[in-house]
Amino acid sequence: MNLVVLVTGANSGIGLALCERLLSQGTRGLQLCLACRNMRRAEAARSVLLTSHPTAQVALLHLDTSSISSVVRAAQEVRLRYDRLDYLYLNAGIMPNPQFDVTAFFKGLFSSKIIPMLATGVGILTQKDGVTSDGLQEVFATNLFGHFLLIRELEPLLCHAGQTSQLIWTSSSNAHRSAFNLEDIQHQRGSQPYSSSKYASDLLSLALNTHYNKQGLYSSVTCPGFVMTSLTYNILPSFPAFVWTLLMPVFWLIRLVTNTFTLTPQNGSEALFWLFKQKPESLDPYAKYHSLTSGLGNNYTQPRKMDIDLETSESLYETLLQLESEVRKNFHGTSESERASQRGGRGISRGMDHLRVNTERFQ
Ligand SMILES: NC(=O)C1=CN([C@@H]2O[C@H](COP(=O)(O)OP(=O)(O)OC[C@H]3O[C@@H](n4cnc5c(N)ncnc54)[C@H](OP(=O)(O)O)[C@@H]3O)[C@@H](O)[C@H]2O)C=CC1
Ligand SMILES: CC(C)CCC[C@@H](C)[C@H]1CC[C@H]2C3=C(CC[C@]12C)[C@@]1(C)CCC(=O)[C@@H](C)[C@@H]1CC3
């Protein structure tokens, strides 16, 4: 059977490590598609994979999850290339302009909250978000909405009679209910857009299970743990690479008390890879599957209950559908009379300011 696997953000870090593991386990006929925004880096990643697996089928796809037109074009291309999609890894993610609160970090080190702080980064990180050319908040668009739109666009390949398909999100233990607000799903007003977007992906995964399981599509969320990648190096940009290397023994010691310090992309991809081998019907829609590494360096996957509820997940799903239809209306062009009434001041997003889309762009 020719399994088709698409991984977003596959050119580095956890995404690339996952691709390496998928090829190493030797599924015959596996067709891997690396969906990346930077084709030069994507080519480099493909070369790395082909060096260790010369006969592997590794295709590239241009996809910028923060751009609506890019997502629509990429999905069109996928529909042309493949007639099925068995696994869609929703892995691309950003944490732009992170601010590391040193004082809170050192206070946390000497408090009872030390372990949760090290495992989740909650309370010590904030970010400054930007706005995309579509008028969406950048973190929301990249980490969540672009992926949502991609799923919706790929529905015909994902929902096939007599076949199951899996959506696998790279979420985070940094996802926290307190950072998320249904009235501000894009997190325009807060300073934790990363946590908000990851909490939203946890909620969305639950809603996708509610709406798509009967069509054979299943969704799960993972947390790779704390992994040294460009995303984490960027948290302390003043640290040269060698300082991180010097800190490794400290991190290995910390691993003795919290198995969430997976540290390498290979370890971090454990839960993503584990899910590849599971029957989707056997998975718990309320669980986050954590990649963990023991003090002795052994990897394993552990499900932990998420702090989510059906009602909030449904409300988010409805809001995302509304935003999707706003975006589609703009993308495919609105009628002249509609445009005139928008210009008349009522606006396409009346009553839905929190959705905030740049309605001019596609007109
Ligand atoms: N590292 C960690 O400790 C943790 C990471 N995660 C999550 O893991 C995922 C992978 O991150 P990680 O491997 O650590 O970091 P990397 O920065 O190495 O990987 C992120 C990947 O996402 C891609 N990407 C970013 N923005 C876009 C976009 N707009 N369109 C398409 N691709 C995009 C990047 O491409 P490019 O190379 O072009 O930038 C890169 O390939 C993220 O979702 C992150 O939030 C979760 C918990 C912990
Ligand atoms: C200056 C020091 C000696 C060491 C600083 C360590 C911190 C930079 C890390 C400690 C826990 C880490 C962590 C993350 C980022 C880096 C730390 C704050 C994440 C928030 C990265 C992104 C995620 O999604 C989380 C799961 C990580 C949780 C732990």
The average pLDDT across 298-308 equals 98
Ligand located closest to 125 CA:
2
| Residue matched to tokens 């899996």 | 166
Instruction: List the structure tokens of 331.
Output: 């993308």
* Type and span of the H or E element at 250: helix 241-255
Residue to mutate (ligand 2; options 232, 234, 244, 252; most atoms within 8 A of CB): 232
Pairing of strands 125-127, 98-100: antiparallel
DSSP letter (8 states) at residue 263: B
Helices (H), the chain: 13-24, 39-52, 68-81, 102-109, 114-120, 138-139, 146-153, 155-158, 193-212, 230-233, 241-255, 265-268, 270-276, 310-332, 336-341
Question: pLDDT band for position 333 (50/70/90)?
Answer: low
Q: What is the CA radius of gyration of the chain?
A: 20
Three-class SS string for 114-152? HHHHHHHCCCCEEECCCECCCCCEHHHHHHHHHHHHHHH
Nearest CA to ligand 2 atom 16: 232
SS3 state of residue 312: helix
- Name the average pLDDT for the chain: 92
Nearest CA to ligand 1 atom 38: 38
- Ligand 2, CB within 6 Å, residue ranges: 118, 120-121, 124-125, 172-174, 226, 232, 235-236, 247
CA angle 87, 285, 121 (to 5 degrees): 90
pLDDT at 336: 43
- CB count within 10 Å of CB 156 equals 12
SS3 state of residue 310: helix
Residue to mutate (ligand 2; options 226, 230, 238, 242; most atoms within 8 A of CB): 226
Per-residue pLDDT for 349 more than 80?
A: no
Cα 16 to averaged position of ligand 2 atoms, centre (Å)? 21
DSSP letter (8 states) at residue 344: I
CA 123 to chain centre: 21
Per-residue pLDDT for 345 more than 60?
A: no
Question: pLDDT band for position 216 (50/70/90)?
Answer: very high
The average pLDDT across 270-274 equals 98
SS3 state of residue 57: strand
Q: Is 125 in the pocket of ligand 1 (CB under 6 A)?
A: no
pLDDT at 28: 84
Ligand 2: which atom is nearest the Cα of residue 239? Answer: 1
Q: Is 68 in the pocket of ligand 1 (CB under 6 A)?
A: no
Question: pLDDT band for position 160 (50/70/90)?
Answer: confident
Per-residue pLDDT for 279 more than 90?
A: yes
Query: What pLDDT, in 10s, does the model give residues 62-103?
Result: 999 999 999 999 999 999 999 999 999 999 999 999 999 999
Nearest by Cα to 341 from 332, 331, 329? 329
Say if CB 93 and CB 143 are below 8 A apart. Answer: yes
Cα 143 to averaged position of ligand 1 atoms, centre (Å)? 9
The amino acid occupying position 191 is: S
What's the pTM? Answer: 0.93
Spans of all domains in the chain: 4-95+138-225+268-290+300-355
Question: pLDDT band for position 351 (50/70/90)?
Answer: very low
Ligand 1: which atom is nearest the Cα of residue 171? Answer: 46
Write down the CATH number for the domain with range 4-95+138-225+268-290+300-355.
Answer: 3.40.50.720
Ligand located closest to 255 CA:
2
Q: What is the DSSP string of 200-235?
A: HHHHHHHHHHHHHGGGTEEEEEEE--SB-SHHHHTT
Q: Is 14 in the pocket of ligand 1 (CB under 6 A)?
A: yes
pLDDT at 1: 67
The average pLDDT across 185-191 equals 97
Ligand located closest to 249 CA:
2
Per-residue pLDDT for 54 more than 50?
A: yes
The average pLDDT across 219-240 equals 95
Per-residue pLDDT for 341 more than 80?
A: no
Nearest by Cα to 92 from 141, 134, 156? 141
Pairing of strands 217-223, 299-305: unpaired
**Distance separating alpha carbons of residues 213 and 205, to the nearest angstrom:** 11
Residue to mutate (ligand 1; options 21, 195, 229; most atoms within 8 A of CB): 229
Nearest CA to ligand 1 atom 41: 9
Nearest CA to ligand 1 atom 2: 227
Share of the chain above pLDDT 70, in %: 91
Ligand located closest to 222 CA:
1
The average pLDDT across 305-319 equals 98
Exposed/middle/buried for residue 269 (C-beta within 10 Å: 0-12, 13-18, 19+) = buried
Active site residue ranges = 194
Share of the chain above pLDDT 90, in %: 86
